[in-house]
Every structure is written in structure tokens, then in C-alpha cells.
Amino acid sequence: MAVPIEPEAAGGRDVVGAVLKACALLEKFGADRPVWTLNELTSASGMNKTTVYRLMATLIHAGWVDRTAEGAYRIAMPVFEIGSAALSKLDIRSAARPFMAELADAFGNTAYLMVPAEQGAVCIDLLEGRNSLVVAGINIGSVMPYHAAAGPVVMLAHSKMLRDRWITADLPAITDRTITDVARLVEHLDGIEKAGYSLSNSDYLPGVAAVGAPILGKDGSVVASISVGGRAEEFEGDALAEMIEKVCDAGSRITRIMQALPRG
């Protein structure tokens, strides 16, 4: 009796469902789990066993997957060769751009990429969403103080070196909501470091709120931050919770990319 095959994934006419499913299976492999059996992949993917078997057989034929002596699956060398070639040409801006686009599209607000510098957080890229608000004063090349706005603050929270250099008793108040008291700021930063993200509301620009997450390098040091900013009234309730989730996910995924980059 023929075993039924799952229908193709939903999408436009140009989307090949079988390829998407094969990609989903490849994504299961990682440093923490380099080898999978057929039964394990079937359970983890939610696909039926016949579909998984046929997709993995195709990937083996293509040279992307190998079988172990025990009959399990592992990623083959061409995947690493292609990945290494791509990573060698990648920088933080090109790595972050797709995630910035996702955030700008999802929420309609502006996505920012900032990197640490001695004089402050430098905005090296931004992508505006569909909303009409343009945040005045934050452009590519803008240098911002570390103790205000979500992107700079989340870098300050995750970097002992930046804290030692930046936190002093004479921090300027950019708005009446900027935290300048050292003890209060340190407590605020400790909470951000523990949570893994920062929230800001009118501490840099009145009426503007933002969510930021850190991007870390191989040694755990801060190399950048990704954030989304817009009207403060849009950063509330379920919408805020979703922004936090997606910004944190973007930061984590870019971190994994940056940590995979070859040293050079």
C-alpha cells in the first residue's frame, strides 16, 4: 500500500515546499547535535517518516548529508565549505541587514544597528519601516551617549569595559527621563544584562521608545546592538512583548553568525 506524502508547504507558486522541508531538516543539525537518526528527525520535525527518509536520501545523493556507520545522518563537508566561503565575505552590517528588514517589516518602526566606539555608540545602519515617524537626530554616523536609548544602553549593560569608561558622577541628562545617578544606572544595567534586552522610553528623545538586544563576539564581548524604535504609544502590551521576543531573537541569531566568522 502506498504511503501518503505530506502536501507541499503553503506559499507562492515560486516556493518549492520540498526544498523548504529539506532546509528545515538541515537546520536541526548543529554543534550541540551533529548526528540524528531517522526516528529522531521524524519526531523533531513533525514530518512523517517517509517524507523525512526521502528528503534525507535526496540530500545524501546531492552530497550535503552523509550516513554514519550506524546509519544515522550527519552534515557532509560541502555544507561547511560553502558556509565558510560565505562567512569569509560577511561583515556585521551585511549579517544584520536581513534581520533589520524583518523587524522593520513586522512592526513598521525603524530598525537600528549600532557599534561601540570610544566616544559613544555609533549608528552604522538603519532601516525605516512603513510608519511615518522619522526619529530626528539618529542617522547613519550619529554618535549617541551610552546611558540613553535602547541600543547604546544594552551595549553598556553587557560590557564591563564600557561601564568602567563611561559611568561617572557627571553624566548629562539628555531628557528629564535620562538616568544619570550612578547607583540607579548600575542597577538598571544589571537588570538589562540579566534580561538580555533593554527598553527605553523618552530617555533620549521625548515620545520615542525602543527595544534593543546585544550582538556578541566569540569571546562574549559586545560587538554591536540591534534595536527597533518608534512612537512610545506603540511600545505597549502585546505589541511590546512581541517586539522584545523578535529583537532578542534577531540579536541571538546575528550573534551566532558573528561567532562563526573566521578570525582575521
Q: Domain locations in the chain?
A: 17-88, 92-260
The average confidence (pLDDT) of the chain is 84
Task: Please name the fold of domain 92-260.
Answer: Beta-Lactamase (3.30.450)
Q: What is the DSSP letter of 47?
A: -
Q: For 160-210, write each residue's pLDDT tens digit.
A: 999 999 998 889 999 999 999 999 999 999 999 999 999 999 999 999 999
Query: Rounded to an integer, what distance in angstroms lies between the CA atom of residue 10 and that of residue 7?
Result: 9
What class, spelled out in words, does domain 17-88 have in CATH? mainly alpha
Residues in the chain: 264
Which pTM does this prediction carry?
Answer: 0.67
Exposed/middle/buried for residue 6 (C-beta within 10 Å: 0-12, 13-18, 19+): middle
Q: Are strands 208-216 and 198-201 parallel, antiparallel or unpaired?
A: antiparallel
- Statement: residue 5 has pLDDT above 80: no
The answer to whether 204 and 144 have CB atoms below 8 angstroms apart is yes
Q: For 118-171, write each residue's pLDDT tens digit.
A: 888 999 889 988 875 656 668 888 889 999 999 999 999 999 999 999 998 889
- Of the pLDDT bands very low, low, confident and very high (cuts 50, 70, 90), residue 90 is low
Exposed/middle/buried for residue 251 (C-beta within 10 Å: 0-12, 13-18, 19+): buried
Q: For 239-258, write each residue's pLDDT tens digit.
A: 999 999 999 999 999 998 88
